[in-house]
Structure 1
Amino acid sequence: MQTPEQIKVESKTWKTIYPPYIDSTLTTAQGRRLGKSNCVPYPQLMEISQCLSSLGLRHVIDQHAGFPKDIFKQGRIKVRLYAEDKKPYNPQIKCKHTLLQTIAKLIKSIPNRKVEVPPYIAQMEIEKQNKPPQKKQTSTKKKHKNG
């Protein structure tokens, strides 16, 4: 059995998956990697981990790693796709893109999946609703006619 330190060193060469990669509520500029129709709203680390386990892929969850494009989105999963001889562990999954598509499909198939809005997003929505509407500013400058 490997120690956590050994796993951490070994997992540096593994593929990294952040939940925003398959989040349908985000844009591609915000980090989404698939088309919206292939994604799910607000995927959770544990859901992704369950999918990876069902695919027979070894993985490590790092709950405290921040997503580079938005540090408020915490958590990532490191996945070992290939063996030492460069052959995929799961013959159906040959690349990271296929893995992301498969994870999203598996999450969609979870019966009675509860979509949980992350707390920081819920707080932002509350603040938007409580903010008084801003008055439209009219300019007091007069237009000059050049003559």
Structure 2
Amino acid sequence: MSSDSEDESKELTQEQKKWHILYPLFFDSTKSRKHGRIMPSNLCIPEPTAEEIADACKELNLPFVLEPGKKHPREFFLEGRVRVNFKSPKDEKKPRTPLREDIPSKLKLEKMVAEIMKNRRTEKGQKQKSTGKGKRK
């Protein structure tokens, strides 16, 4: 179901071009809302990557496309974005419906992705501390 596309030259389908775009900037705790962060800082992590967003989408079992070479207009030094689909394809006879009942909107999708990324970073940090392989000061 997930399409983990690493190939930049691969052309997106018309349907994929309509999917919601998530940039790492949206979840960066080091950025202000004025500079592009969209989530509350308590849900964000420092310097997230597009790969972390893609992993969160994979965990949510949503179709996504990782676009590693794409850049946000405001933060053109940071590369990568993820297109994710959380609604059914458009049909003339019925409106688009959420693929998952617990993700009815873009805001809920962004919040769940942020929570997953934060939890993974926290778990990763705890594993490093317990194994003694963390950074030394």
Matched AA of 1:60: V
Match of 1:130 in 2: none
Q: 1:48 aligns with which of 50, 53, 57?
A: 53
Contact 2:25 2:75 in 1 (8 A): no
Gaps in structure 1 of 5+ consecutive residues:
115-147
Aligned to 2:109: 99
The answer to whether 1:83 aligns with 2:97 is no
Runs of 4+ in structure 1 deviating by more than 3 angstroms, as ranges, are none
For the residue of structure 2 that corresponds to 1:75, the secondary structure is: strand
- Kindly provide the CA deviation profile for residues 55-97 of structure 1, in whole angstroms up to 9, marking residues without a partner as x: 1100001111111112111111001111024111121111111
Q: Displacement of 1:9 after TM fit? A: 3.1
When the two chains are superposed, the root-mean-square deviation of aligned CA atoms in Å is: 1.9
1:95-132 deviations in Å (ceiling 9; x for gaps): 11111111111112111159xxxxxxxxxxxxxxxxxx
Identify unmatched segments of 5+ residues in structure 2.
4-9, 90-94, 127-137
**Contact 2:24–2:49 (8 Å) recurs in 1:** yes
- In structure 2, what is the equivalent of residue 112 of structure 1? 124
Contact kept in structure 2, 1:56 and 1:90, CA below 8 Å: no
Offset, 1:43: 1.1
TM-score by length of 1: 0.69
Q: 1:113 to 1:51 in 2, by over 3 A?
A: farther
Count of matched residue positions in the alignment of Structure 1 and Structure 2: 111
Contact persistence 2:43–2:118 (CA under 8 A) = no
Q: Does 1:15 pair with 2:28?
A: no
2:40 corresponds to 1:35: yes
The one of the two structures with greater contact order (alpha-carbon pairs below 8 A, sep at least 6) is 2
Task: Give me the whole-angstrom Cα distance separating, in 1, the residues matched to 2:30 and 2:86.
Answer: 27
> What is the Cα deviation at residue 8 of structure 1?
3.9
Alpha-carbon distance in structure 2 between the residues aligned to 1:81 and 1:91: 10
After TM superposition, the score normalised by the length of structure 2 is: 0.74
Percent of matched pairs sharing the same residue:
27
Corresponding letter in the other structure for 1:58: P
CA contact (8 A) 2:49 2:80 kept: no
Matched, 1:73 2:78: yes
SS of the counterpart of 1:32? coil
Structure showing greater radius of gyration is: 1
